Structure 1
Amino acid sequence: MNMKKAIVAISLALTSLCLNAQAQPASSFKPGEIWPDNNGVHINAHGGGLLYHDGSYYWYGEHKIAGVAGNKAEVGVHVYSSNDLYNWTDRGIALKVEGDDSDIAKGCILERPKVIYNPKTKKFVMWFHLELKGKKYDSARSGVATADTPEGPFTFIRSQRHNAGHWPQNVQPEQKDPESIKLTLAENNKFGGGPSKKHAKFNILGSHFEGGQMARDMNLFVDDDGTAYHIYSSEHNSTLHISQLSEDFLSHTGHYTRNFPFRWMEAPAVFKHDGKYYLIASGCTGWKPNAARSAVADNILGPWTELKNPCTGTNPSNKLGAAKTFGGQSTYVLPVHGKKDAYIAMFDQWNPKDAIDGRYLWLPINFTADGFEIPWISEWDLSHFDK
């Protein structure tokens, strides 16, 4: 065999090995590694969340473009389906960006899409954080869309701020003070989105009473009684709001609370275990990872008690441990269907310079006497919850 034929033979053999490797179904989670879908392409569902419906899981997330930095929406929300959580089938774009006359115009910022199912209306309802095109982060709105099937296509309904004309359950008398509202309005929303002493000097809640409260990083939660809640960073990211949704899940009831004032909580994810509500979140440091936050409550609307950082161990690929949440940021907590006490904490390992290369850190939650912990495990499977 001459050299040219040998090279061709080796190339064909390597190609065959790669194809065979891709054809082998996955049987474990490998946090931080490339996660191929049924086409062998890395899953493109960033900042996402999961829905379990009629025996299948659906994973919704931000669709990123190769070689493009940042978080502008060029395509929309991608959706994948799975029966086992390891292997995912590409179901296409569930919600497409629209023309320039739409709130979800191409080039807007569309983040953290989450989908829940309403059994009364038989509609799948998607909420997401939305910043209008060309407005940077000044809009601080949420968008809502619906579909008849989990794969979509979803139809965009509207975007808005929330609870206009409604005070939270735990409003303080000074927040209704007209003079403090007037003083804050004069600032013309000149507040940063990260920790600052300035926020506490002004009545941001009151200044947004008439026009509606800001909403950025967000999540959804449906309680055991079927009531749905929207959890989102508000008041220029300084305070987390938890708000009850209407029966059709398409609007807000005006029934909400302020939580963790001036703690700058981003990336909230809520779950329920043994009658208690738990929260995972992060601080506000932009694309840079920080220490995860956690909290517990007896009522979804609070009051909440902060717990310790739940993460333990170190991610060997980047040498980042609990102090940096393994290099990730929380996005969702998934209760595994059919298994008791089985919850998966989902984190995004962002790559702002090439967003499509963002990786997924899925890790098990272990419950402890004083809360819960999330250990780093480089490879694991669902049998972890059988121990």
Structure 2
Amino acid sequence: MKKTLLGLLLTLASATQAQQKLTAFEPGKVWPDDKGTHLNAHGAGVLYDKGRYYLFGEHKIAGPRGNSAQVGVHCYSSTDLYNWKDEGIALTVAPEGSGSEIEKGSVIERPKVVFNKKTGKYVMWFHLELKGKGYSAARTAVAVSDKATGPYAYMRSYRPGAGQWPLGFKEEWKQPAPNEANLKWWTPEWRKAVTEGLFVRRDLQPGQMARDMTVFVDDDGKAYNIHSSEENLTLHVAELTDDYQGFTGRWNTIAPAGHNEAPALCKRNGKYYLITSGCTGWAPNAARSFVSSSIWGPWQQLGNPATGPDADSTYHSQSTYILPVAGKKNAFIFMADRWTPKNPIEGGYIWLPLSFEGDQPRLQWADRWNLGVFDQPKKAAVAQ
């Protein structure tokens, strides 16, 4: 009887917690969904559609296996960005032994969903690594659904840019330099060789590597896949087809040999802003930022957008997405993850308001804040 009563009390406590409406963001803290369970949507992106936000992220499990795809991509929905309803698994991994590229044990990272107005389809892109091959496949993959919440049907994966040179690639760069194979990494000569296509030439026929990624839809409806390529040394931006399910073959490089990953992109007053991280595995590092008047570049590198204590680790997190807040002009939320690779399901989320000083994006830590900060841009992002 005592055990039964205790169980009932715990159930009631959980239900009460699940029913409590959140009114602010508390970065880094446990973030319960409508069932009282910590959100399970890592490396996430957000889609705003018909008055509702949809959060898509990697579903993690406990233990080391949780860094591979054991379940799929989780979806949540919200009308206020604070309180999230569990919508279940939007993309389910295929069974082990099925031979599918997304079978259980593959790696599915950083899912992003966009809506295509021409086809009426919801299109999900993600970074895909094939089961048992580590991170050598370096592919980007696409799945499609008729509903925002899914289920999403897996289509295929790509190595983008196969047989296509990037924009502005000089004719003399199309042939390898005599000594480039023997260049020592990180020397000025090697950096110059990377800028002049050392890895682009290597991967021309199979297609370019595509790891950490995001998807951006511009004002004209054109969509782009921005991903870390060339052994994570150079970011690539590649134009998607009109249905958002493939590549046109038009692409370009961003910051060759800059060693950037975790790209997150937004557009403000006609300019494009990019926030990335360095490449230090699961360990956090200082974020980087860039600005350009064109999606194709040239991109100007700016400083670390983070300010204050722990800015050198981006508040112990890594960028995943920049979310435009619906109905508010130039209001953006910086989304990042606190990775816990030994027990991935415990990973936390850092959401902070993104402000600007001229062209420089700025982040300031807040223990608690709400969307009212965008109505008071000169005041601190603190909620009562």
What are the within-5 Å matches in structure 2 for residues 49-68 of structure 1? 49-68=45-64
Partner of 1:318: none
Q: Tell me the distance in 1 between the aligned counterparts of 2:9 and 2:204.
A: 66
User: 1:370 deviation in Å?
Assistant: 3.9
**Cα 1:147–1:16 shift into 2, 3 Å:** closer
Partner of 1:176: 174
What are the within-5 Å matches in structure 2 for residues 205-284 of structure 1? 205-284=200-279
Structure 2 residue identity aligned to 1:52: Y
Choose the corresponding residue for 1:323, options 312, 317, 334.
Answer: 312
Structure 1 residue identity aligned to 2:348: R
State TM-score, norm by structure 2.
0.90
Equivalent pair of 1:222/1:229 in contact (CA under 8 Å): yes
- Deviation per CA, 1:266-298: give whole Å up to 9, x if none: 000010011110000000000000000001000
Aligned residues: 368
Equivalent pair of 2:239/2:251 in contact (CA under 8 Å): yes
Q: Tell me the distance in 1 between the aligned counterparts of 2:328 and 2:365.
A: 21
Secondary structure class of the residue paired with 2:67: coil
Matched, 1:28 2:38: no
Equivalent pair of 2:70/2:105 in contact (CA under 8 Å): yes
Equivalent pair of 1:56/1:81 in contact (CA under 8 Å): yes
Equivalent pair of 1:69/1:353 in contact (CA under 8 Å): no
Partner of 2:35: 39
User: 1:20 deviation in Å?
Assistant: 3.0
Q: Tell me the distance in 2 between the aligned counterparts of 1:245 and 1:309.
A: 29
Q: Tell me the distance in 1 between the aligned counterparts of 2:336 and 2:34.
A: 22
Secondary structure class of the residue paired with 1:267: strand
What are the within-5 Å matches in structure 2 for residues 1-387 of structure 1? 19-68=15-64, 71-99=67-95, 100=97, 101-177=99-175, 196-197=186-187, 200=191, 203-314=198-309, 321-387=310-376
User: 1:196 deviation in Å?
Assistant: 4.6
Structure 1 residue identity aligned to 2:304: N
Q: Tell me the distance in 2 between the aligned counterparts of 1:296 and 1:236.
A: 23
Q: Tell me the distance in 1 between the aligned counterparts of 2:123 and 2:92.
A: 15
Q: Percent identity between the aligned chains? A: 51
Equivalent pair of 1:124/1:147 in contact (CA under 8 Å): yes
Secondary structure class of the residue paired with 1:385: helix
Q: Tell me the distance in 2 between the aligned counterparts of 1:372 and 1:14.
A: 44
User: 1:104 deviation in Å?
Assistant: 0.6
Structure 1 residue identity aligned to 2:33: D
- Deviation per CA, 1:214-251: give whole Å up to 9, x if none: 10000000000000001001111110001111101111
Q: Tell me the distance in 2 between the aligned counterparts of 1:248 and 1:12.
A: 50
Unaligned runs of 5+ in 2: 377-384
**Cα 1:154–1:16 shift into 2, 3 Å:** closer
- Deviation per CA, 1:176-228: give whole Å up to 9, x if none: 005669x76xx9xxx9xxx8559645611101111111100000000000000
Structure 2 residue identity aligned to 1:74: Q
Equivalent pair of 2:290/2:300 in contact (CA under 8 Å): yes
Secondary structure class of the residue paired with 1:365: strand
Secondary structure class of the residue paired with 1:43: coil
Partner of 1:317: none
Equivalent pair of 1:221/1:270 in contact (CA under 8 Å): yes
Partner of 2:379: none
- Deviation per CA, 1:130-173: give whole Å up to 9, x if none: 11101101101111110000000000011120111110003133
Q: Tell me the distance in 1 between the aligned counterparts of 2:153 and 2:190.
A: 37
Unaligned runs of 5+ in 1: 315-320
Q: Tell me the distance in 1 between the aligned counterparts of 2:293 and 2:308.
A: 29
Secondary structure class of the residue paired with 1:311: coil
User: 1:105 deviation in Å?
Assistant: 1.1
Pick which of 365-374 and 353-362 moved more: 365-374
**Cα 1:199–1:208 shift into 2, 3 Å:** farther
TM-align CA RMSD: 2.4
